[in-house]
């Protein structure tokens, strides 16, 4: 019996009904996305080597030629979305979702993004990815979902096709703005991501969900990615609950832009690399691994900027320099260097 996985059960990009859908779709796992108002919701760094431990300096890991072969092999998993996945989108209100056939240029972009994944993620995808599909007709900032295939027990990743041509900054900014509603302040938020494109970021995030689902990273009691942070799927440890911002990603209403400064000042005191990472332990891991890789492998950066009505930047936050985030990069290094048995199971 398939079941919706805790973290990977929301369609990344659709919001408010996440908890409702969690309850209603107890039998399958859907994950990832940004935020959108109606259905489920499930989807940035400056190189600061002088502030980061040597272990975090960009480096090559497991770069044997075989890795390119793996990316090519994974490209063979690209196909039409499973009908059950399409139905999940439709039930979430996206009636116009249709399979997207990749052009040759798009296939090259997907192969490059797959090749950029860490070796662990690629090994796990080799063993546990059933299908990688792209669809048209997902509205707004929705991204896609990662879900287990009822037929195979493996994972399906289904993505909004237009993400292939999207810049990382556009993708992240559109997602972040879901947190807010305009107010008299006239201020705006921009989330600038460098070092890679939206597709690679999304595949880093989604493939980490597959690693998590397959290896039980965040469901291991006392594991390094949950200890003192999460007491269950979406419940924060008491010491963090009192300081972590409660936003749309945690079921709150849209907040006035005037709240932005206090939100990010609070986030800077937490181990979370983004507001989206506060949604659940699975989103936390996916965000942490994705940004770790964008920084260490791509030399990228993430900057949240608050602009006044005239477009002038009045505050900036750099989540990759948040002290408690940097501490966790060591744990990500250890995870990605490990050889968990789940990656070798058939």
Question: Which residues of this chain interact with Zn ion, rule CB under 5 A?
Answer: 31-32, 283, 286
- The residue at minimum Cβ distance from Zn ion is 32
Structure tokens, 31: 């994950």
The least distance separating Zn ion from the CB of residue 88, rounded to whole angstroms, comes to: 15
176 or 283, CB closer to Zn ion? 283
3-state helix, strand, coil in the chain (%, to 5): 45, 15, 40
The least distance separating Zn ion from the CB of residue 286, rounded to whole angstroms, comes to: 5
Answer whether 312's CB lies under 8 Å from 188's CB.
no
The least distance separating Zn ion from the CB of residue 72, rounded to whole angstroms, comes to: 26
Q: Identify the helix (H) or strand (E) that includes residue 66.
A: helix 66-75
233 or 261, CB closer to Zn ion? 233
| Strands (E) located in the chain | 12-13, 33-34, 98-99, 129-136, 144-148, 155-160, 180-181, 188-193, 255-256, 302-307, 313-317
6 or 283, CB closer to Zn ion? 283
Q: Provide the CB-side half-sphere exposure for 193 (13 A, CA).
A: 28
The least distance separating Zn ion from the CB of residue 283, rounded to whole angstroms, comes to: 5
46 or 285, CB closer to Zn ion? 285
Helix then strand count (H, E) for the chain reads 11, 11
46 or 236, CB closer to Zn ion? 236
32 or 329, CB closer to Zn ion? 32
CA 112 vs CA 70, 106, 163, 193: distances in Å: 11, 10, 14, 18
190 or 280, CB closer to Zn ion? 280
Closest CA to 223 of 345, 334, 319: 334
131 or 274, CB closer to Zn ion? 274
The least distance separating Zn ion from the CB of residue 289, rounded to whole angstroms, comes to: 11
Give DSSP secondary structure letters for 284-345: HHHHHHHHHHHHHTT---EEEEEE-TTS-EEEEE-GGG-HHHHHHHHHHHHHHH---GGGT-
The least distance separating Zn ion from the CB of residue 40, rounded to whole angstroms, comes to: 11
Residue with the two structure tokens 């489920």: 40
The least distance separating Zn ion from the CB of residue 108, rounded to whole angstroms, comes to: 25
SS3 assignment, position 6: coil
The least distance separating Zn ion from the CB of residue 276, rounded to whole angstroms, comes to: 8
The least distance separating Zn ion from the CB of residue 218, rounded to whole angstroms, comes to: 12
16 or 67, CB closer to Zn ion? 16
Residue with the two structure tokens 């299908």: 131
CA 220 vs CA 22, 115, 154, 330, 339: distances in Å: 20, 28, 20, 18, 16
How far is 186 from 324, CA to CA, in rounded Å? 32
Structure tokens, 104: 């040759």
């Amino acid at each position: 019996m398939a079941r919706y996985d805790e973290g990977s059960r929301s369609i990344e990009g659709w919001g408010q009904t996440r908890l409702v859908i969690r309850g209603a779709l107890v039998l399958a796992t859907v994950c990832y996305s940004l935020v959108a108002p109606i259905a489920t919701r499930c989807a940035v760094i400056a190189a600061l080597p002088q502030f980061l431990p040597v272990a975090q300096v960009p480096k090559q890991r497991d770069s044997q030629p075989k890795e390119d072969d793996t990316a090519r092999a994974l490209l063979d998993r690209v196909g039409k979305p499973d009908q059950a996945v399409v139905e999940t989108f439709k039930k979430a209100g996206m009636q116009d979702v249709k399979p997207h056939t990749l052009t040759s240029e798009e296939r090259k972009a997907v192969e490059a993004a797959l090749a950029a994944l860490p070796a662990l993620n690629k090994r796990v995808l080799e063993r546990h990815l059933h299908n990688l599909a792209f669809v048209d007709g997902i509205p707004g900032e929705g991204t896609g979902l990662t879900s287990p295939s009822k037929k195979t027990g493996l994972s399906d990743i289904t993505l909004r096709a237009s993400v292939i041509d999207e810049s990382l900054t556009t993708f992240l900014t559109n997602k972040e703005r879901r947190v807010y509603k305009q107010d008299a302040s006239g201020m705006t938020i921009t989330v600038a991501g460098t070092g890679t494109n939206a597709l690679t970021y999304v595949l880093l995030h989604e493939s980490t969900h597959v690693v998590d689902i397959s290896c039980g990273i965040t469901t291991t009691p006392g594991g390094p990615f949950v200890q003192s942070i999460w007491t269950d799927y979406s419940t924060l440890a008491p010491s963090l609950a009192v300081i972590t911002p409660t936003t749309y990603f945690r079921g709150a209403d849209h907040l006035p832009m005037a709240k932005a400064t206090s939100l990010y000042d609070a986030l800077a005191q937490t181990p979370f690399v983004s507001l989206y990472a506060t949604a659940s332990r699975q989103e936390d891991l996916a965000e942490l691994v994705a940004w770790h890789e964008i920084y260490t492998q791509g030399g990228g950066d993430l900057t949240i900027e608050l602009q006044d009505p005239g477009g002038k930047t009045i505050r900036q936050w750099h989540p990759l320099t948040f002290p408690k985030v940097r501490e966790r990069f060591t744990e990500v290094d250890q995870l990605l260097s490990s050889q968990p048995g789940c990656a070798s199971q058939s």
